[in-house]
């Protein structure tokens, strides 16, 4: 790939002449999103309108009527994290002559991938585009038909502005745990250089994000800085900031990843690749050599404008023309940023670029290997580390499987109910992931609850997947009934490799799980079962559940299955709402004043409510100091002290799930009692100050450790008073590391 020659890419974007094909774009989205998110939607639409005559359908619709009325050549269906609950598009099986394509709008690791797959199954769509280029690696079931429509920066908005540079380094964007590179590097930059911060208010709260600059205002903010860091999250993604920063005339500072290199970025030529070990030296060199910095910045701007502006993103049109000219031929995307092509070799496998696994997938893969090796405790800890970054269904299912092997099926049930509730209840999908639903059936058996297993198996009767088919067959034989399987293809899942084992191997693992959970009698019955695929099966469209459920209950079996998610729904809604904080009026002091001049590196907020978190962040932002903030979990209110606990903290069994947090140097921990219950002694190794907020939960072991030993003493009255002024509504206790611990031997 010639990363330094953008001409071909620009010319390809301008080659479409004549009548634009008509596209109908079904886009039924949450109406209460922040302005900067809706601005992304407008950018996508503007990009598509370069190549298509686009009509947007943003309400529930009848596909048959829409096609009859608009006569489109192509129908595009968007789903993902921003999809509105209650969306419905009827009769999508009509008009097979119109090409249909799905658009995934979500992070590659986002649990709403399952929402997207459910919608695509419902609407009969088999070809997909994704904005997140990493998503191909996270959706193996559709990797052979998913193409990238990468992010871009519209150069009519993002370009250098004539005003002089007013800041050396601008830190912008989220600092949640799923941005580990940004957290590491931002801390070093704050420590060594004058920086300006532009806080991120979240993706789903319109009111809370009103102060965030968007459009030209945001572009001017980037343009005013010499250097702006960003990263591609745990997924090593190509995010918008990778392109907006250089397009606006600032120098991109980022993590070296394959996708960023494929985009044409070269270290110390048109960007800076660095990590926390070498970032300070590289930035210092550039600030001392302004000519070098200016040349690199100009090269980055040329790259962003020439190869990654809105004109360069015509991949959907390329696919449309290729499939129209060669129906049935396989189309591939050899280069994320180059042209699509017909695959004359007839290969199988992914049709687009699959990047290397990010830290989350590497942890999950190592956990999978530990689970296969018979070490479920260590596997559970690795899965927990993934869940501390972000809730991912693969890690949740892995942790559930580990819990079953450890004889803890109740914990497995909680995990799976939560995961399916995100998909069905929080985001309104018509059905759960079929593999996760099969495991809910399995876990019910491991809990000794055959009746609940039967109800789970009876719900969603039209869903098909080999894993679910087998579980339904097992449950049916246990209750003395026959399973009715829908006469339709298997449903897609985010989970790879399930239901592919030989029957005897699959059955043997199920028997082991039942024995681990003290269900020996059920295990004995399952061990005697024959392969259900060798027996006659009633295959038809299952318009009613079977499995021995009485007729009076049959009409409501699907609803019954969803009612089983009621407990998890409340939890999921709380966790989703936790992202929608409110602005606060911070006190005007600084973190330096609050700590009485004490030098710290990291502030860990563990299950702290929104008001307290924002007040503490405001103190850090006003210094600016070297203190870096890492936040895990949310407490929604004093009366709801459980709040949102990261699943890794809830479920880690080796006591080491906090190892995934970037806690370097001296740390201050602010935690509710519910949060402190997840801390163990090794987690306090680097802590210098620990603040415990009373929230109605019982005293934790962490508090007893602080009180009973000689390493910790209660903070002075001045420090406590300053903290109480900052957090006026909180009842708190503050502990500081005893100075005696640091005295040299023989000191008085």
Q: What is the DSSP code string of 458-497?
A: HSSTT---HHHHHHHHHHHHHHT---EE-SSPPPP-S--S
- Beta strand spans in 628-678 (E): 628-632, 667-672
- What does pTM read for this prediction? 0.80
pLDDT at 597: 63
Q: Are residues 103 and 114 in the same domain?
A: yes
- What is the average pLDDT across 203-210? 65
Contact assessment for residue 309 and residue 12, using Cβ atoms and an 8 Å cutoff? no
- What is the average pLDDT across 414-424? 93
- For residues 506 and 377, the model is more confident at 506
Q: Token pair of 195, please?
A: 């920086």
Q: Phi and psi at residue 256, in whole multiples of 5°?
A: -75, 115
447 has pLDDT over 80: yes
Of 258, 285, 308, the residue at which a domain comes to its end is: 308
Handedness of CA 293, 298, 301, 306 (dihedral sign): negative
Q: Phi and psi at residue 362, in whole multiples of 5°?
A: -65, -40
pLDDT at 245: 97
- What is the average pLDDT across 707-711? 82
Q: Are residues 108 and 238 in the same domain?
A: no
Q: Token pair of 451, please?
A: 């009746």
Of 542, 571, 600, the residue at which a domain comes to its end is: 571
Residue at token pair 């059920």: 522
* Residue 682 pLDDT level (bands cut at 50, 70, 90): confident
State the number of CA atoms in the 13 A half-sphere of 330 facing the CB.
Answer: 16
Q: Are residues 462 and 560 in the same domain?
A: yes
Q: Phi and psi at residue 160, in whole multiples of 5°?
A: -65, 135
Buried b or exposed e, range 726-747, using 16+ CB within 10 angstroms: bbeebebbbbbbeeeeeeeeee
From the CB of residue 655, how many other CB atoms can be counted at a distance below 10 Å? 14
Q: Token pair of 395, please?
A: 């890690």
* Residue 543 pLDDT level (bands cut at 50, 70, 90): very low
List, edge to edge, every strand of the sheet that includes 272-273.
195-198, 167-172, 225-229, 251-254, 272-273
- For residues 659 and 241, the model is more confident at 241
Pairing of strands 538-539, 602-606: unpaired
- For residues 668 and 519, the model is more confident at 519
The verdict on residue 374 lying in a domain is: no
- For residues 308 and 203, the model is more confident at 308
217 has pLDDT over 60: yes
pLDDT at 445: 98
Q: Are residues 561 and 488 in the same domain?
A: yes
The verdict on residue 545 lying in a domain is: yes
Q: Are residues 135 and 147 in the same domain?
A: yes
The most confident of the ranges 27-36, 468-477, 666-675, 714-723 is 468-477
Angstrom distance (rounded) from CA 16 to CA 18:
7
- What is the average pLDDT across 141-152? 96
Of 515, 543, 571, the residue at which a domain comes to its end is: 571
Report the SS3 class of residue 105: strand
Contact assessment for residue 128 and residue 104, using Cβ atoms and an 8 Å cutoff? yes
- What is the average pLDDT across 484-490? 80
pLDDT at 564: 45
| DSSP code of residue 29 | B
Q: How many domains does the chain contain in total?
A: 4
The verdict on residue 577 lying in a domain is: no
229, 220, 225, 240: which is closest to 159 by C-alpha? 220
Residue ranges making up the domain that contains 672: 591-742
| DSSP code of residue 670 | E
pLDDT at 579: 43
Angstrom distance (rounded) from CA 452 to CA 417:
13
pLDDT at 531: 92
Q: What is the CA radius of gyration of the chain?
A: 27
pLDDT at 615: 82
Q: Are residues 189 and 335 in the same domain?
A: no
- What is the average pLDDT across 512-536? 92
pLDDT at 610: 75
List, edge to edge, every strand of the sheet that includes 74-80.
53-57, 22-26, 74-80, 99-105, 128-130, 146-148
743 has pLDDT over 90: no
How far is CA 585 from each of CA 399, 637, 653, 726, 727, rounded to the nearest angstrom?
Answer: 40, 18, 40, 11, 12
The verdict on residue 107 lying in a domain is: yes
The verdict on residue 104 lying in a domain is: yes
Render pLDDT for 249-265 as a digit per residue (tens, 0 to 9). Answer: 999 999 999 999 999 99
From the CB of residue 693, how many other CB atoms can be counted at a distance below 10 Å? 27
* Residue 93 pLDDT level (bands cut at 50, 70, 90): very high
Q: Return mean pLDDT, the chain.
A: 84
Angstrom distance (rounded) from CA 573 to CA 421:
9
Contact assessment for residue 430 and residue 446, using Cβ atoms and an 8 Å cutoff? no
- Beta strand spans in 255-311 (E): 272-273
Contact assessment for residue 342 and residue 330, using Cβ atoms and an 8 Å cutoff? yes
Contact assessment for residue 183 and residue 630, using Cβ atoms and an 8 Å cutoff? yes
Render pLDDT for 697-706 as a digit per residue (tens, 0 to 9). Answer: 788 888 888 8
Contacts of 100 by beta carbon, 8 Å cutoff, 6+ apart = 74, 75, 77, 92, 123, 124, 125, 126, 127
pLDDT at 651: 58
Handedness of CA 692, 698, 704, 707 (dihedral sign): positive
Angstrom distance (rounded) from CA 146 to CA 140:
10
For the ranges 103-107, 375-379, 509-513, 564-568, the lowest mean pLDDT is seen at 564-568
Pairing of strands 687-694, 667-672: parallel
**Total residue count of the chain as it appears in this document:** 748
**What is the end-to-end Cα distance of the chain in Å, rounded?**
68
* Residue 5 pLDDT level (bands cut at 50, 70, 90): very low
Pairing of strands 251-254, 225-229: parallel
Q: What percent of the chain is modeled with pLDDT above 70?
A: 81
Q: Phi and psi at residue 264, in whole multiples of 5°?
A: 105, 5
Name the region of 607 (left: φ>0; alpha: ψ -120 to 50; beta: rest): left
- For residues 557 and 174, the model is more confident at 174
The most confident of the ranges 185-199, 320-334, 722-736 is 320-334
The verdict on residue 377 lying in a domain is: no
From the CB of residue 651, how many other CB atoms can be counted at a distance below 10 Å? 25
Angstrom distance (rounded) from CA 204 to CA 31:
10
State the number of CA atoms in the 13 A half-sphere of 619 facing the CB.
Answer: 22
The verdict on residue 372 lying in a domain is: no
pLDDT at 512: 97
pLDDT at 3: 31
- What is the average pLDDT across 287-300? 97
pLDDT at 231: 94
207 has pLDDT over 70: no
pLDDT at 596: 65
Q: At what angle do helices 503-516 and 434-446 cross, to 10 degrees?
A: 50
Render pLDDT for 599-655 as a digit per residue (tens, 0 to 9). Answer: 677 788 888 887 788 788 777 766 545 566 777 776 644 444 345 666 666 655 555
Angstrom distance (rounded) from CA 476 to CA 458:
10
- What is the average pLDDT across 326-354? 90
CATH number of the domain enclosing 330: 3.40.50
Q: Are residues 137 and 215 in the same domain?
A: no
Q: Are residues 133 and 254 in the same domain?
A: no
Name 23's bridge partners. 54, 74
For the ranges 197-206, 207-216, 348-357, the lowest mean pLDDT is seen at 197-206
Q: Are residues 597 and 545 in the same domain?
A: no
139 has pLDDT over 90: yes
- What is the average pLDDT across 360-387? 92
- What is the average pLDDT across 168-192? 87
From the CB of residue 707, how many other CB atoms can be counted at a distance below 10 Å? 13
246 has pLDDT over 50: yes
* Residue 40 pLDDT level (bands cut at 50, 70, 90): very high
Name 172's bridge partners. 198
Q: Are residues 328 and 417 in the same domain?
A: no
pLDDT at 685: 77
Q: Are residues 422 and 457 in the same domain?
A: yes
Angstrom distance (rounded) from CA 693 to CA 714:
14
- For residues 723 and 408, the model is more confident at 408
Q: What percent of the chain is modeled with pLDDT above 90?
A: 57
Angstrom distance (rounded) from CA 479 to CA 449:
12
Q: Token pair of 600, please?
A: 């710290």
- Beta strand spans in 264-411 (E): 272-273, 331-332, 341-342
The verdict on residue 376 lying in a domain is: no
- For residues 452 and 3, the model is more confident at 452
Angstrom distance (rounded) from CA 628 to CA 180:
12
Q: Are residues 691 and 651 in the same domain?
A: yes
């Amino acid at each position: 790939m010639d990363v330094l020659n953008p001409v071909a890419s620009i010319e390809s974007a301008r080659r479409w002449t004549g009548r634009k094909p008509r596209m109908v774009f079904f886009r039924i989205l949450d109406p209460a999103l922040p302005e900067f998110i809706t601005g992304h939607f407008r950018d996508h639409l503007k990009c598509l309108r370069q190549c298509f005559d686009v009509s947007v359908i943003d309400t529930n619709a009848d596909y048959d009527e829409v096609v009859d009325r608009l006569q489109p050549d192509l129908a595009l269906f968007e789903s993902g994290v921003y999809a509105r609950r209650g969306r419905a598009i009827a009769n999508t099986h009509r008009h097979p002559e119109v090409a249909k394509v799905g658009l995934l709008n979500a992070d590659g690791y986002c649990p709403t991938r399952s929402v997207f797959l459910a919608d695509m199954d419902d609407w009969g769509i088999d070809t997909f585009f994704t904005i997140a280029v990493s998503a191909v690696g996270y959706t193996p079931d559709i990797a052979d038909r998913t193409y990238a429509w990468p992010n871009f920066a519209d150069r009519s908005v993002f370009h250098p502005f004539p005003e002089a540079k007013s800041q050396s380094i601008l830190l912008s964007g989220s600092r949640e745990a799923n941005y580990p590179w940004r957290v590491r590097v931002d801390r070093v930059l704050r420590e060594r250089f004058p920086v300006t911060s532009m806080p991120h208010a979240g993706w789903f709260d319109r009111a809370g994000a009103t102060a965030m600059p968007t459009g030209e205002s945001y572009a001017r903010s980037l343009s005013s800085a010499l250097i702006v860091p960003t990263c591609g999250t745990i997924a090593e993604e190509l995010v918008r900031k990778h392109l907006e920063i250089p397009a606006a005339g600032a120098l991109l500072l980022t993590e070296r990843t394959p996708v960023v290199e494929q985009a044409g970025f070269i270290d110390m030529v048109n960007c800076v690749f660095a990590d926390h070990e070498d970032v300070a030296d590289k930035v210092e060199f550039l600030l001392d050599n302004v000519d070098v910095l200016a040349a690199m910045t100009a090269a980055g701007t040329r790259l962003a404008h020439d190869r990654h502006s809105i004109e360069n993103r015509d991949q959907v049109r390329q696919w449309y023309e290729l499939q129209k000219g060669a129906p049935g031929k396989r189309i591939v995307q050899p280069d994320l940023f180059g042209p699509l092509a017909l695959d004359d070799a007839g290969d199988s496998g992914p049709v687009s670029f699959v990047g290397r696994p990010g830290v989350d997938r590497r942890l999950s893969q190592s956990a999978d290997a530990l689970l296969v090796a018979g070490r479920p405790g260590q596997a559970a800890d690795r899965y927990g580390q993934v869940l501390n970054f972000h809730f991912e269904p693969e890690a949740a299912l892995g942790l559930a499987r580990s819990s079953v092997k450890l004889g803890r099926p109740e914990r497995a049930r909680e995990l799976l109910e939560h995961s399916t509730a995100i998909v069905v209840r929080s985001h309104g999908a018509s059905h759960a992931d079929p593999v996760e639903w099969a495991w809910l059936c399995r876990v019910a058996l491991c809990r000794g609850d055959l009746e609940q297993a039967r109800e789970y198996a009876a719900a969603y009767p039209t869903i098909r997947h080999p894993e679910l088919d087998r579980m339904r067959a097992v449950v049916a034989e246990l209750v003395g009934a026959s399973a009715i399987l829908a006469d339709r293809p298997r449903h897609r899942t985010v989970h790879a490799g399930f239901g592919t084992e030989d029957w005897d191997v699959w059955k043997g693992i199920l028997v082991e799980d039942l024995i681990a959970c003290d269900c020996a009698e059920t295990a004995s019955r399952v061990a005697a079962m024959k392969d259900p695929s060798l027996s006659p099966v009633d295959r038809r469209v299952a318009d009613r559940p079977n499995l021995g459920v009485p007729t009076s209950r049959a009409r409501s079996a699907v609803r019954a299955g969803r009612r089983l998610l009621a407990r998890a729904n409340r939890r999921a809604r709380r966790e989703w709402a936790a992202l929608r904080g409110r602005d606060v009026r911070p006190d005007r002091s600084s973190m330096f004043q609050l700590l009485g001049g004490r030098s710290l590196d990291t502030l860990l907020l563990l299950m702290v409510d929104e008001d307290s978190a924002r007040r503490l962040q405001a103190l850090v932002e006003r210094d600016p100091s070297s203190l870096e903030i890492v936040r895990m979990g949310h407490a929604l209110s004093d009366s709801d002290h459980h709040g949102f606990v990261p699943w890794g903290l809830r479920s880690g069994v080796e006591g080491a799930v906090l190892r995934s947090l970037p806690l370097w140097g001296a740390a201050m921990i602010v935690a509710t009692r519910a949060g402190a219950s997840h801390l163990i002694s090794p987690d306090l190794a680097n802590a210098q100050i620990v603040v415990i907020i009373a929230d109605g939960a019982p005293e934790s072991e962490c508090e007893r450790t602080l009180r009973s030993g000689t390493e910790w003493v209660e903070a002075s009255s001045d420090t406590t008073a300053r903290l109480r002024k900052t957090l006026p509504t909180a009842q708190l206790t503050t502990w500081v590391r005893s100075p005696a611990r640091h005295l040299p031997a023989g000191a008085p």
